[in-house]
């Protein structure tokens, strides 16, 4: 395992209109490293950051609903990282583009979303909860798949 932040590349792929680049799922070892509780804690931090971010208006307006939304997202990411299918069980088939369609998500909203996620990942890096390689694999997935969610210009 390689630890440390130096090799991590959090650069964001430029958005190209009308292009949905091929997605590679995160390495399941990311989930093995941080555990289900680590994933829930990551999304709890992330949603707390979104709650005060420039894109807060597209998310639930109170903290209780935000925590529920955070739980749904954590369920999804546990599943996509090879863990139990909590999301399918609680919410049905992912159909992410369809689920995001009601929310105006433009290229700038995507940037704020990714920057908040990068910040939420910091304790995992600082506390060496996962390897550089596995964190990178998680980032690469969200970096690419977040482009698929764009449904408007902002
Ligand atoms: C491009 C930036 C993105 C923005 C601005 C965004 C925004 C949102 C919003 C507004 C919601 C609804 C919150 C709620 O009321 O439950 C949501 C839900 C969700 N998002 Fe995103 N999202 C983005 C990218 C992604 C990506 C890349 C993924 C997965 C890889 C994802 C996974 C989810 C999941 C699992 C839910 C919960 C859906 C449900 O419970 O039915 N999002 N997102």
pLDDT tens readout for residues 120-141: 999 999 999 999 999 999 999 9
Atom of ligand 1 nearest to the CA of 72: 40
CATH number, domain with residue 109? 1.10.490.10
Q: Is residue 76 part of a domain?
A: yes
Proportion of the chain in helix, strand, coil states, percent, rounded to 5? 60, 0, 40
101-126 exposure pattern, b = at least 16 Cβ within 10 A, e = fewer: eeeebebebbbbbbebbbebbeebbe
How many domains does the chain fold into?
1
Atom of ligand 1 nearest to the CA of 149: 1
Q: How far is the CA of 73 from the centre of ligand 1 (A)?
A: 7
Q: How far is the CA of 36 from the centre of ligand 1 (A)?
A: 19
Q: Are the beta carbons of 47 and 68 closer than 8 angstroms? A: no
pLDDT tens readout for residues 82-121: 999 999 999 999 999 999 999 999 999 999 999 999 999 9
pLDDT tens readout for residues 22-69: 999 999 999 999 999 999 999 999 999 999 999 999 999 999 999 999
Q: CB-based contacts of 49: which residues, under 8 Å, 6+ apart? A: 116, 119, 120
Task: Note down the domain range covering 81.
Answer: 29-148
Q: Is residue 7 part of a domain?
A: no
pLDDT at residue number 104? 97
Q: Are the beta carbons of 144 and 21 closer than 8 angstroms? A: yes
Q: Are the beta carbons of 117 and 146 closer than 8 angstroms? A: no
pLDDT at residue number 6? 58
- Cβ 96 under 6 angstroms from ligand 1: yes
**Whether residue 7 has pLDDT greater than 90:** no
Atom of ligand 1 nearest to the CA of 55: 5
């Amino acid at each position: 395992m390689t630890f440390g932040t130096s090799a991590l590349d959090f650069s964001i792929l430029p958005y190209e209109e009308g292009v949905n680049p091929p997605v590679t799922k995160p390495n399941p070892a990311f989930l093995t490293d941080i555990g289900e509780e680590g994933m829930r804690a990551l999304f709890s931090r992330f949603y707390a950051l979104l709650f005060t971010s420039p894109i807060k208006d597209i998310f639930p307006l109170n903290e209780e609903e935000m925590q529920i939304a955070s739980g749904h997202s954590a369920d999804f990411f546990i599943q996509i990282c090879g863990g139990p299918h909590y999301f399918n069980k609680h919410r049905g088939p992912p159909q992410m583009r369809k689920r995001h369609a009601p929310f105006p998500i433009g290229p700038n909203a995507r940037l704020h979303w990714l920057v908040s996620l990068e910040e939420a990942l910091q304790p995992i890096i600082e506390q060496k909860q996962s390897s550089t390689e596995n964190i990178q694999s998680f980032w690469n997935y969200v970096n690419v798949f977040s482009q698929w969610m764009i449904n408007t210009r902002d």
